[in-house]
Structure 1
């Protein structure tokens, strides 16, 4: 674990649960819930202060918690804390790891297409307090080192009055499903080791699954964003290679930089 911590790039300003610093370690549900509340309430308070939006104006709430599953749900905890109205539409997504954040964005996008003139609050967090691995299987020790206390909150709006003041415009979401592939399906798994310790296994197929998913996503999004000049060059190259049987012609490499200014590979907490 020391070697992993030295190589993972995380600095000293990251946070872990206070319960994990105690002796003996406190992995109780109360300690895990305290971590989630501190992260979630902090980002929501900051978001509302920056935007000036009142809680009563938010009509859609979507919460994400990848591993930690609580009852009542995280969405119910937020509704009670901020005294949201009974007609709020609330959704709680859990058990999908980092993917859940991207799924939630797609859900919010679809909800805003149906409910006009609305604010939607998306909150994502997680807690590994109850799922710290205590064994010696190296493939399960990685999750102890790279996951930290974090939370993020987005406020999305389809109000015409917010069009010129919003920070970003949310255009589309594209999600590629690769779970039918054995390597993609098994790269991260919650299971017990030979000694009965529960942990999250992360193996080297993570890179394979990521590359496979990125290729699928680019194949879908490229035709939507590339200029006509790039599409034309690709089309001519395809005709030469496929119909003229010119096997010595290399496939045309698309220049995505002509359309895309920034490309971020990452996940919501």
Structure 2
């Protein structure tokens, strides 16, 4: 996933006990300007960890001290200690109740583990493939692109790292492209339902078992929402907790995971379905502004569906376990706020300026 400057997020998962070595910066090197922000993030993370495990930090030293003291006593001292207590039934019941209460409080205060059971990505058909040659041939035949814009898009494609197997939705294969609301909905249904179907098939989970649904798509936000579209298609339960995120940039995928994680902390024995996509059909830019031509070259067709769970019985089959999510929002900075901006160019064409 790609995180934009205006809202960057990071998540860490655990697959094995092996920890890679951490590179350290020499003491003579100057610290980067964002080091204070990075330090603040990890200070907050450490504080959250301390709050979640406060009972552990309080009781482990106490229990360890008592055990060490008992280990240093001989059997006769242990017998005399036992006889000196003179516990009656009421004292035993009160002590047992207190221990059960402390244990319950401890286990309730611990954060619930969040497992990534499985995920699936949409793979477009071969008919949607757009090699560089096809893309450039179409661009040269469009009247709203001059030769300078065509050459610019070719340079971006060559440097983008995209391969010859990337795909665009059917509406963008026409000359000129013919975006419409129905074509946009059709792309959304195709990419989202295909990814979810693959996920359900791989995990053998039923739609009725989904407790939480989080969908993110930044630029295409129809009514009814994409989350409602999924609920209608799969006939999900009426008490499902559903959320639809839009306008949050490329980092919305990790923001969705963060939201699902928070919901799984307060709703035990639950499954969360996270769907992340970007619908390309309605966002083709037909102008000559270079900053707005970039999305035409960089964004392609796709979707991902992720199944998260806090059920401990899913630990064995889960691919990953979520350790933590840290998010830093830079929206207060005007430069970061406008780094991805939807606007009109001088000719009135709507596009995404990067």
Please give the TM-score of this superposition, normalised by the length of structure 1.
Answer: 0.73
1:76, distance to aligned residue in structure 2 (A): 0.6
2:351 is aligned to 199
Is 1:160 aligned with 2:295? no
1:27 lines up with 2:184 in the alignment: no
Quick one: higher RCO (CA 8 Å, sep 6+), 1 or 2? Answer: 2
Q: What is aligned with 2:155?
A: 3
Rounded to whole Å, the distance in 2 between the matches of 1:104 and 1:48 is 19
Structure 1's unaligned 5+ residue stretches are 203-269
User: 3-state SS of the aligned residue for 1:154?
Assistant: strand
Counterpart among 196, 200, 203 of residue 48 in structure 1: 200
- Map of 1:93 onto structure 2: 245
Q: Tell me how far apart the structure 1 counterparts of residues 234 and 276 of structure 2 sit (CA, whole Å).
A: 16
Q: Per-residue CA shift, 1:100-142, capped at 9, x if unaligned?
A: 2121111100100111001110001111211211010111100
Distance 2:190 2:225 in 1: 16
What does residue 170 of structure 2 align with?
18
SS at match of 1:183: helix
| Residue 126 (1) aligns with residue 278 (2) | yes
| Partner SS state of residue 242, structure 2 | strand
RMSD: 1.0
Count of residues in Structure 1 that have an aligned counterpart in Structure 2: 202
Residues in 2 aligned to 1:75 and 1:143: alpha-carbon distance in whole angstroms = 25
Task: Tell me the distance in 1 between the aligned counterparts of 2:164 and 2:188.
Answer: 20
Pairing of 1:1-269 with structure 2 (within 5 A) = 1-202=153-354
TM-superposed deviation, 1:89? 1.0
What does the per-residue CA deviation read over 1:135-172, in whole Å, with 9 as the maximum and x for residues that have no partner? 10111100111001110000000111111221000111
How far does the alpha carbon of each residue in 1:85-107 deviate from its partner, in whole angstroms, 9 at most, with x for none? 11111111111121221211111
SS of structure 2 residue aligned to 1:113: helix
- The residue number in structure 1 matching 2:48 is none
Distance 1:49 1:158 in 2: 20
> What is the CA-CA distance between 1:70 and the residue it aligns to?
0.8
Asked whether the equivalents of residues 160 and 298 of structure 2 are also in contact (C-alpha less than 8 Å), the reply is yes
Query: Helix, strand or coil: the match of 1:174?
Result: strand
Confirm or deny: 8 A CA contact 2:249 2:340 kept in the other structure.
Answer: no
Aligned partners of 1:14, 1:33: CA distance in 2, in Å? Answer: 21
3-state SS in 1 of match to 2:184: helix
The alpha carbon displacement at 1:181 in A equals 1.5
Q: TM-score, normalised by structure 2?
A: 0.56
Structure 2 gaps, min length 5 = 1-152
Deviations along 1:158-214, one digit per CA (max 9) or x if unpaired, are 111111221000111100011111221121111111111111111xxxxxxxxxxxx
Q: Aligned to 1:98, what secondary structure does the other structure show?
A: coil
